Amino acid sequence: MQLIHPESVLQTERLVLEPIKQRHATLLYPILQDSRIYQYIPQEPPASVEMLEQRYQKLERRLSPVGDEAWLNWAVCLKLTGQYVGRVEASVLPNRNAYLAYVFGFQFWGNGYATEASQRILQLLFDDYGVTEVKSEVDTRNEASVRLLERLGFEQVEYRAAGDFFKGSPSDEYIYRKVVAIQSVEQQPNTALEPNNER
Ligand SMILES: CC(C)(COP(=O)(O)OP(=O)(O)OC[C@H]1O[C@@H](n2cnc3c(N)ncnc32)[C@H](O)[C@@H]1OP(=O)(O)O)[C@@H](O)C(=O)NCCC(=O)NCCS
Protein backbone atom coordinates (compact mmCIF):
# COMPACT_ATOMS: atom_id res chain seq x y z
CA MET A 1 0.00 0.00 0.00
CA GLN A 2 1.34 3.38 -0.99
CA LEU A 3 0.97 5.88 1.85
CA ILE A 4 -0.08 9.42 0.91
CA HIS A 5 1.66 12.16 2.92
CA PRO A 6 1.53 9.99 6.05
CA GLU A 7 3.16 12.59 8.29
CA SER A 8 0.87 15.47 7.34
CA VAL A 9 -0.82 17.26 10.23
CA LEU A 10 -4.50 17.87 9.47
CA GLN A 11 -6.54 20.87 10.59
CA THR A 12 -10.22 21.49 11.14
CA GLU A 13 -11.99 24.51 12.58
CA ARG A 14 -11.35 23.53 16.22
CA LEU A 15 -8.96 20.59 15.99
CA VAL A 16 -5.45 19.55 15.03
CA LEU A 17 -5.03 15.91 13.94
CA GLU A 18 -1.47 14.68 14.38
CA PRO A 19 -0.31 11.34 12.90
CA ILE A 20 0.20 9.24 16.00
CA LYS A 21 3.69 8.85 17.38
CA GLN A 22 5.19 7.22 20.43
CA ARG A 23 5.28 10.61 22.20
CA HIS A 24 1.46 10.80 22.11
CA ALA A 25 1.22 7.99 24.67
CA THR A 26 1.89 10.29 27.63
CA LEU A 27 -0.52 12.87 26.21
CA LEU A 28 -3.42 10.47 25.58
CA TYR A 29 -2.91 8.05 28.49
CA PRO A 30 -4.73 10.19 31.12
CA ILE A 31 -7.86 10.63 29.03
CA LEU A 32 -7.94 6.93 28.10
CA GLN A 33 -8.28 5.76 31.72
CA ASP A 34 -12.03 6.30 32.18
CA SER A 35 -13.78 2.90 32.16
CA ARG A 36 -16.95 4.42 30.63
CA ILE A 37 -15.09 4.63 27.31
CA TYR A 38 -14.78 0.82 27.15
CA GLN A 39 -18.34 -0.23 27.91
CA TYR A 40 -19.18 -1.35 24.36
CA ILE A 41 -15.76 -2.11 22.88
CA PRO A 42 -13.45 -5.09 23.51
CA GLN A 43 -10.50 -2.97 24.65
CA GLU A 44 -9.62 -2.03 28.24
CA PRO A 45 -7.85 1.10 29.52
CA PRO A 46 -4.13 0.94 28.68
CA ALA A 47 -2.28 -0.76 31.54
CA SER A 48 0.65 1.68 31.53
CA VAL A 49 2.14 4.57 29.60
CA GLU A 50 4.96 2.23 28.55
CA MET A 51 2.57 -0.25 26.97
CA LEU A 52 0.80 2.56 25.13
CA GLU A 53 4.18 3.86 23.96
CA GLN A 54 5.03 0.46 22.51
CA ARG A 55 1.69 0.31 20.73
CA TYR A 56 1.97 3.80 19.27
CA GLN A 57 5.56 3.21 18.24
CA LYS A 58 4.44 0.23 16.14
CA LEU A 59 1.73 2.40 14.58
CA GLU A 60 4.35 4.93 13.43
CA ARG A 61 5.00 2.64 10.47
CA ARG A 62 1.39 3.35 9.34
CA LEU A 63 1.27 -0.01 7.58
CA SER A 64 0.03 -3.49 8.49
CA PRO A 65 2.80 -6.01 9.25
CA VAL A 66 2.62 -7.40 5.69
CA GLY A 67 2.50 -3.86 4.28
CA ASP A 68 -0.64 -4.32 2.21
CA GLU A 69 -2.91 -2.13 4.37
CA ALA A 70 -2.53 1.46 5.54
CA TRP A 71 -3.06 1.66 9.30
CA LEU A 72 -3.58 5.36 9.91
CA ASN A 73 -4.01 6.84 13.38
CA TRP A 74 -4.28 10.42 14.53
CA ALA A 75 -4.07 12.00 17.97
CA VAL A 76 -6.71 14.73 18.14
CA CYS A 77 -6.03 17.93 20.06
CA LEU A 78 -7.89 21.18 20.60
CA LYS A 79 -6.46 24.14 18.68
CA LEU A 80 -7.38 26.60 21.40
CA THR A 81 -5.78 24.92 24.43
CA GLY A 82 -3.56 22.11 23.08
CA GLN A 83 -5.56 19.60 25.16
CA TYR A 84 -5.53 16.09 23.65
CA VAL A 85 -9.07 14.76 23.43
CA GLY A 86 -9.03 11.50 21.45
CA ARG A 87 -7.78 9.28 18.68
CA VAL A 88 -9.21 8.39 15.28
CA GLU A 89 -8.07 5.42 13.22
CA ALA A 90 -8.63 4.36 9.65
CA SER A 91 -7.49 1.18 7.91
CA VAL A 92 -7.31 1.20 4.13
CA LEU A 93 -7.48 -2.23 2.49
CA PRO A 94 -5.90 -3.13 -0.87
CA ASN A 95 -9.38 -3.11 -2.50
CA ARG A 96 -9.77 0.59 -1.49
CA ASN A 97 -12.33 -0.17 1.18
CA ALA A 98 -11.63 1.33 4.59
CA TYR A 99 -12.64 0.95 8.23
CA LEU A 100 -13.11 3.83 10.64
CA ALA A 101 -12.89 3.78 14.44
CA TYR A 102 -12.51 6.40 17.16
CA VAL A 103 -12.14 6.86 20.88
CA PHE A 104 -12.51 10.14 22.75
CA GLY A 105 -11.99 11.01 26.40
CA PHE A 106 -15.28 10.81 28.29
CA GLN A 107 -15.04 14.40 29.53
CA PHE A 108 -14.90 15.61 25.92
CA TRP A 109 -17.99 13.82 24.62
CA GLY A 110 -20.93 15.93 23.46
CA ASN A 111 -18.93 18.69 21.79
CA GLY A 112 -18.93 17.41 18.23
CA TYR A 113 -15.16 16.76 18.28
CA ALA A 114 -15.51 13.17 17.04
CA THR A 115 -17.78 14.35 14.23
CA GLU A 116 -15.37 17.11 13.21
CA ALA A 117 -12.29 14.85 13.28
CA SER A 118 -14.01 11.97 11.47
CA GLN A 119 -15.30 14.26 8.71
CA ARG A 120 -11.71 15.33 7.99
CA ILE A 121 -10.49 11.73 7.94
CA LEU A 122 -13.31 10.68 5.61
CA GLN A 123 -12.31 13.50 3.27
CA LEU A 124 -8.73 12.23 3.29
CA LEU A 125 -9.81 8.64 2.64
CA PHE A 126 -12.02 9.58 -0.29
CA ASP A 127 -9.83 12.30 -1.83
CA ASP A 128 -6.27 11.10 -1.20
CA TYR A 129 -6.63 7.32 -0.98
CA GLY A 130 -9.41 6.92 -3.54
CA VAL A 131 -11.44 4.90 -1.04
CA THR A 132 -14.85 3.93 -2.38
CA GLU A 133 -16.53 2.78 0.81
CA VAL A 134 -15.88 3.11 4.52
CA LYS A 135 -17.32 0.72 7.09
CA SER A 136 -17.60 0.81 10.83
CA GLU A 137 -18.64 -1.96 13.23
CA VAL A 138 -20.55 -0.90 16.31
CA ASP A 139 -22.16 -2.64 19.26
CA THR A 140 -25.92 -2.06 19.00
CA ARG A 141 -25.95 -0.63 22.57
CA ASN A 142 -23.37 2.03 21.68
CA GLU A 143 -25.86 4.83 21.09
CA ALA A 144 -23.29 7.65 20.99
CA SER A 145 -21.34 5.86 18.26
CA VAL A 146 -24.49 5.01 16.30
CA ARG A 147 -25.56 8.68 16.44
CA LEU A 148 -22.09 9.74 15.32
CA LEU A 149 -22.07 7.37 12.34
CA GLU A 150 -25.51 8.52 11.24
CA ARG A 151 -24.47 12.16 11.63
CA LEU A 152 -21.51 11.39 9.37
CA GLY A 153 -23.85 10.02 6.69
CA PHE A 154 -23.25 6.32 7.28
CA GLU A 155 -26.08 3.87 6.66
CA GLN A 156 -26.79 0.68 8.55
CA VAL A 157 -26.23 -2.19 6.11
CA GLU A 158 -26.01 -5.26 8.33
CA TYR A 159 -26.94 -6.62 11.74
CA ARG A 160 -24.88 -9.41 13.26
CA ALA A 161 -26.41 -11.07 16.30
CA ALA A 162 -23.54 -12.03 18.61
CA GLY A 163 -21.07 -10.74 16.03
CA ASP A 164 -18.46 -10.44 18.76
CA PHE A 165 -17.95 -11.61 22.33
CA PHE A 166 -16.22 -9.57 25.00
CA LYS A 167 -16.42 -8.72 28.69
CA GLY A 168 -18.35 -11.87 29.44
CA SER A 169 -21.23 -11.42 27.01
CA PRO A 170 -22.05 -11.48 23.31
CA SER A 171 -22.02 -8.23 21.41
CA ASP A 172 -24.70 -7.71 18.76
CA GLU A 173 -23.28 -5.51 16.04
CA TYR A 174 -24.42 -3.13 13.36
CA ILE A 175 -22.27 -2.67 10.31
CA TYR A 176 -22.46 0.88 9.02
CA ARG A 177 -21.26 1.97 5.59
CA LYS A 178 -20.62 5.22 3.76
CA VAL A 179 -19.92 5.16 0.03
CA VAL A 180 -18.10 7.79 -1.95
CA ALA A 181 -20.23 10.49 -3.54
CA ILE A 182 -20.20 10.26 -7.35
CA GLN A 183 -17.33 12.40 -8.61
CA SER A 184 -16.74 14.24 -11.83
CA VAL A 185 -13.58 13.43 -13.80
CA GLU A 186 -11.90 16.61 -12.49
CA GLN A 187 -12.42 15.43 -8.90
CA GLN A 188 -10.87 12.00 -9.25
CA PRO A 189 -8.50 10.98 -6.43
CA ASN A 190 -5.32 13.00 -6.51
CA THR A 191 -2.31 10.81 -5.88
CA ALA A 192 0.22 13.30 -7.21
CA LEU A 193 -0.01 15.96 -4.52
CA GLU A 194 3.10 17.81 -3.43
CA PRO A 195 4.21 17.05 0.13
CA ASN A 196 2.58 19.42 2.53
CA ASN A 197 2.77 19.40 6.31
CA GLU A 198 -0.44 21.28 7.09
CA ARG A 199 -3.46 20.46 5.02
C1 LIG B 1 -18.27 7.28 19.98
C2 LIG B 1 -17.81 8.61 20.56
C3 LIG B 1 -16.50 9.04 19.94
C4 LIG B 1 -18.89 9.66 20.29
O5 LIG B 1 -18.54 10.85 20.97
P6 LIG B 1 -19.53 12.10 20.96
O7 LIG B 1 -18.93 13.14 21.80
O8 LIG B 1 -20.92 11.65 21.26
O9 LIG B 1 -19.52 12.50 19.42
P10 LIG B 1 -19.27 13.96 18.87
O11 LIG B 1 -17.96 14.43 19.36
O12 LIG B 1 -19.49 13.96 17.43
O13 LIG B 1 -20.38 14.81 19.58
C14 LIG B 1 -21.75 14.69 19.20
C15 LIG B 1 -22.59 15.20 20.31
O16 LIG B 1 -22.17 16.51 20.65
C17 LIG B 1 -23.20 17.45 20.40
N18 LIG B 1 -22.54 18.64 19.83
C19 LIG B 1 -22.24 19.73 20.55
N20 LIG B 1 -21.61 20.61 19.77
C21 LIG B 1 -21.52 20.07 18.54
C22 LIG B 1 -20.96 20.49 17.31
N23 LIG B 1 -20.36 21.68 17.20
N24 LIG B 1 -21.00 19.66 16.25
C25 LIG B 1 -21.58 18.45 16.34
N26 LIG B 1 -22.14 17.99 17.49
C27 LIG B 1 -22.11 18.79 18.58
C28 LIG B 1 -24.17 16.76 19.47
O29 LIG B 1 -25.47 17.24 19.65
C30 LIG B 1 -24.05 15.33 19.90
O31 LIG B 1 -24.78 15.08 21.04
P32 LIG B 1 -25.81 13.85 21.11
O33 LIG B 1 -25.04 12.62 20.73
O34 LIG B 1 -26.26 13.86 22.51
O35 LIG B 1 -26.87 14.13 20.10
C36 LIG B 1 -17.63 8.47 22.10
O37 LIG B 1 -18.84 8.08 22.66
C38 LIG B 1 -16.54 7.48 22.48
O39 LIG B 1 -15.35 7.78 22.45
N40 LIG B 1 -16.95 6.26 22.89
C41 LIG B 1 -16.00 5.24 23.37
C42 LIG B 1 -15.28 4.53 22.27
C43 LIG B 1 -16.23 3.90 21.32
O44 LIG B 1 -17.25 3.36 21.72
N45 LIG B 1 -15.89 3.97 20.04
C46 LIG B 1 -16.71 3.46 18.99
C47 LIG B 1 -16.47 2.06 18.69
S48 LIG B 1 -17.55 1.57 17.37
**Per-residue pLDDT band at 180 (split at 50, 70, 90):** confident
pLDDT at residue 190 in the model:
54
Tell me the pTM: 0.92
Ligand 1 near 175 CB (within 6 A):
no
Q: Which residue has a Cα nearest atom 20 of ligand 1?
A: 111
Cα 170 to Cα 57: distance, rounded to the nearest angstrom: 32
pLDDT by residue (tens digit) across 102-122?
999 999 999 999 999 999 999
At 29-39, the pLDDT tens digits run 999 999 999 99
How confident is the model over 34-49, as a mean pLDDT? 97
pLDDT of residue 77: 98
Whole-angstrom distance, CA of residue 23 vs CA of residue 49: 10
Q: What is the pLDDT of residue 182?
A: 64
- Give all domains of the chain, ordered by start, each with its CATH number: 10-187 (3.40.630.30)
176 lines ligand 1 (CB under 6 A): no
Mean pLDDT of the chain: 93
Ligand 1 center to residue 72 CA distance, Å? 21
CA 50 to centroid of ligand 1, rounded, Å: 28
Closest-CA residue, ligand 1 atom 10, reads 112
152 Cβ below 6 A of ligand 1: no
Percent of the chain past pLDDT 70, that is, above it, reads 91
Q: How many angstroms separate the CA atoms of 158 and 180, rounded? A: 18
Q: Is 48 in the pocket of ligand 1 (CB under 6 A)?
A: no
